[in-house]
Structure 1
Amino acid sequence: MKTKHIFYLLLLLGLGALIVYRINANNEFKIANGPKAQGGATVTGMVLEPQKFAENLSLSGSLEANEQVELRSEISGVVEQINFKEGSKVSRGQVLFRVNDLELKAQLAKVKTAEKLAAENERRAQLLLEKEAISQEEYDMSKAALQSAKAESRLIEAQLAKATVRAPFSGTIGLRYISEGTYVTPSTSVAKLVNLDELKLTFSIPEKYSSQVGMGTELTFTTSGSSEKYSATVYAIEPGVDVATRTLKMRAMTKNEEEKLIPGTFANVSLPLAAVNDAIMVPTEALIPIQNGKKIFVKRNGVAKEVEVQTGARTANSVRVTSGLKPGDTILTSGVMILKDGAPVNVKLSQPVANTASR
C-alpha cells in the first residue's frame, strides 16, 4: 500500500517538473524571437502626401439610334411597288413603297365632279341673290355645299398622298417583312429605318454624383467584345431622380461615321468626375476591416497606433481616405495583421502610389 502511494507521489512530482520546464522554455523562446533589442518589429510604411486624384465612375449603358422608326402604311391596301433594297441607304423624302390607290383616285374624281357642280350652283345663287330672286339663307346653303365639297376633295387628296410612303429622314433600311402584292394595314410593319450617323448612349448615375455631372460632360465608353474606346458628350439629363433606383438618367451623343457601333449594344461607360488636388491615397493592404468600417495603423512616437478611417473611391491598388488621416502621417503597410495598438515598431519607408480611380 505504501509502495502505491510512493508511486503516485513520484508521478505528480514528475508532471509538475515537466510543466515548469515547458513554461520556462516558452518564455525563453519568446525572448529569443521577440522584437530585436526591444526596438519593435520591422514593418514597411509610407509618409502620406496629398495627391491629385481623378475619379471615374464605371457604369453600364445602352446604345440607341439617334433616329429610328418602323415603316408602316397609313392606309389599308395592296402593295403594288417596293422601291428599296434591304440594308440599303435611303435619303429623306425618297419613295419607299406604294399602296394601290385606284379606288382613292376614283373617289377623288367623284368628289371633284361634285365640287364643280357645287361651285356652279354657288355662282348661280350669287347672281340670283344680287337680283333679290332668292333669300340670303338660300345662298348661304349653296355656299356651304361648295365648302363641304372642297373639304371632301382635300380629304381624299390627303388619303391619296398616304398611298405613297416616303423616308422621313436619311438612314439605313433594315429587313423588310412584306412583298409586292401583300395587303397591308396601318398595323403592318414593313421595315425599320435607322439613322446610324449618330448614336445615343443612355445610362444612369447614383444620385450622390448628380451634382458633379452636367450638360457637355465628356466621357468614354467601350462595347462588348471590343477594347476600342469611343467618346461621347452628355446632351440631356432627366430633371428628377428615379425614386425606385435612386439614380439619375442621362444621355450622351457619339459620332458613328464609320458605323462600327450598332444600336442596342451594351456599353461600359467611364464617366470622369471632378478632380481632387489634395487627396489622401493609401495602399489597399494597409486597411484592416473592422465591425464599423476600416482601420489603419499609424506610427506615432515610435509605436503603432490604430486609427479608424472613412474611405471613398478606389483604384486597382489604392484607396482614397476621406477622414481620419492627414498629410505627413506615417502609415504602416505591411505586417499590419499581427500588430497591436501601442506596439513598438521600426518602419522602412516606401514611396506613395498615385492612380486614377474607377468606381
Structure 2
Amino acid sequence: MSRKVAVLLISILIIVGALIAYRIIENQKNAEAQDAGRGKSADAKVYGIVAHGEPFSDYLSLTGSIEPNEIITLRSEISGIVEELNFQEGTTVNGGQILVRINDAELRAQLAQANTRNDLAAENERRAKLLLEKQAISQEEYDIASADYRTAQSQINVIEAQLSKTQVRAPFSGKVGLRDISKGSYITPTTDIAQLVNMNKVKLQFSIPEKYASRVRNGINVKFTVQEQADEFVATVYATEPAIDANTRTLRVRAIADNHNYILIPGTFANVVFPLETIEQGLLVPTEALVPIQNGKKLFVLKNGLAREILVETGGRTEADVLITKGISEGDTILTSGVMALREGSTVDVTLCSN
C-alpha cells in the first residue's frame, strides 16, 4: 500500500512541475512579444527647428594691446649740471618747448673767445685782400689768411651747436611722465630724464592667424574693448608686417584710434573683434545639433518621418549657433535634441521649436 502511495505522489509532483515549467515558458514568450511590439511602435521623441536664412556676421575674437601713438625717453645730448626744469610731472607740453636747461657758462665763454678770434681773422683776411690787390703779398699768403677766417667761423658754429644742446626740447606735443632727475643733478647722455608720450591717438596692436592674413586691408575698422570700460571703441587698420611670423604663424597688425579724452591707457590689454565677412542668408543651427564624427561633423534631418544623417561643413559661430556652409538647405527640419541616441533611419516624433 505504501509503495502505491509513493508512486502516486511522485507522479503528482512530476505533473505539477511540468505545469509550472510550461507556465514560465509561456510567460517569457508573452513578455518578449510585448517588448518587441513596444520597440516597434515607440518613436524617439526629439525637438527640431526649420532652417531658414538670416544675416550672419563672421568675426575673429583676438587679444591685443594698447600702445601710445608716440613715446620717447627724454635724454640730454651732452653732460652737465641741470640749471632749469621747465615742466611739471604728469602735465601736457607742446612740441618745441624747452623742458630742461643745462649750465652753459663754459660754452658761452668759449663762444666769446671764438668770436674774438673770428673778428681778428676777419680783419686779417680784409688786410690780406688789400695787400693782394696791390701785389704786396702772394696769393698763397692771402689763401692762408682766408682759411684762418673760415676756420674761425666754423668754430663759432660748432660752439653754437653745442650751446643748442644744453636745452632739452620736447620733439612733439604730449604728456610728460615722472621725472628721474632734479635741479642741480649732473646728467649725461645716458641719464633718463622722463618719458614723453603722445596720447591723442593710440595704436592697437594685435596678431591674426595666417589663415586669415589675406583678409587684412588698410582702412578696415575693427572694434575693441578694454577692462573696466563699458564703451566699445573703433580703430582703423593702417599697417601690417610684410611677412608672417615663422614662430607663431601669425601676422602682426596695427590700427589707430582716437583718444582725445585719454580714456585709453597705453600698455593695457584689449579684446579685439576682427570682421571677416557678412552673409545675408546664413543657415544657423544650434551647437548641440552637431554630431562630431571621424571625417567631420553630421546633422540629423527629418525626412518622411525618419531621421537621416547629413554630412555638413561649418563656418563661423556665435555663442549658441553654428553657421552651416554645406550640406543642408533652407526649409530642412534639423533635429536638435537627443541626436546622440539617433541612428540612420530611426523613426522620430518631432516637436518643432522656434529659431
TM-score of the superposition, structure 2-length normalised? 0.87
* 1:307-336 deviation per Cα after TM superposition (whole angstroms, max 9, x unaligned): 222212111110011222222322211111
Looking at structure 2, the residues matched to 200 and 315 of structure 1 have their Cα atoms a distance apart, in angstroms, of 28
Cα distance in 2 for partners of 1:18, 1:294 equals 49
Query: What's 2:127 paired with?
Result: 124
The answer for unaligned runs of 5 or more in structure 1 is 1-10, 353-359
Q: Could you say what the CA RMSD is over the residues aligned between the two structures, in angstroms?
A: 2.5
Q: Which has the larger radius of gyration?
A: 2
Identity value in percent: 52
Contact 1:35 1:41 in 2 (8 A): no
Q: 1:31 aligns with which of 29, 37, 40?
A: 37
SS at match of 1:139: helix
CA displacement at 1:67 relative to structure 2: 1.8
Q: Quick one: distance in 1 between partners of 2:121 and 2:221?
A: 65
Shift of 1:35: 3.9
Is 1:221–1:268's contact at 8 Å kept on the other side of the alignment? yes
Matched residue pairs, number? 339
Does structure 1 residue 177 correspond to structure 2 residue 183? no
Contact 1:200 1:254 (C-alpha < 8 Å) held by counterparts = yes
Q: Does 1:342 align with 2:348?
A: no
Structure 2 letter corresponding to 1:182: S
- Residue type of the alignment partner of 1:337: M
Q: 1:3 corresponds to which residue?
A: none
- Pairs within 5 Å for 1:106-255: 106-255=109-258
Partner residue, 1:356: none
Aligned to 1:327: 330
CA distance in 2, matches of 1:17, 1:68: 96
Superposition map of 1:48-67 within 5 A: 48-67=51-70
Any unmatched runs of 5+ in structure 2? 1-16
Q: SS state of the match for residue 331, structure 2?
A: coil
Question: For structure 1, which segment, 105-114 or 313-322, has the greater mean C-alpha deviation from structure 2 after superposition?
Answer: 105-114
State the 1:174 CA deviation.
0.7
* CA distance 1:347–1:110, change in 2 (3 Å): same
Q: Equivalent residue for 2:8?
A: none
Whether the 8 Å CA contact 1:213–1:273 is kept in 2: the answer is: no
Partner of 2:9: none
Letter in 2 for 1:152: Q
Is the Cα contact below 8 Å between 1:58 and 1:270 reproduced in 2?
Answer: yes
3-state SS of 2:277 partner: coil
- For normalisation by structure 1, the TM-score amounts to 0.86
Residue of 50, 53, 57 corresponding to 1:47: 50
CA distance in 2, matches of 1:15, 1:137: 145
**How many Å apart are 1:265 and its aligned residue?**
0.8
Residue 73 of structure 1: how far off its partner (Å): 0.7
Report deviation, 1:89: 1.8
Q: C-alpha distance in 1, partners of 2:274/2:45?
A: 42
User: Would the alpha carbon gap of residues 27 and 136 (structure 1) be closer, same or farther in structure 2, given more than 3 Å must change?
Assistant: farther
Deviation, 1:150, is 1.3
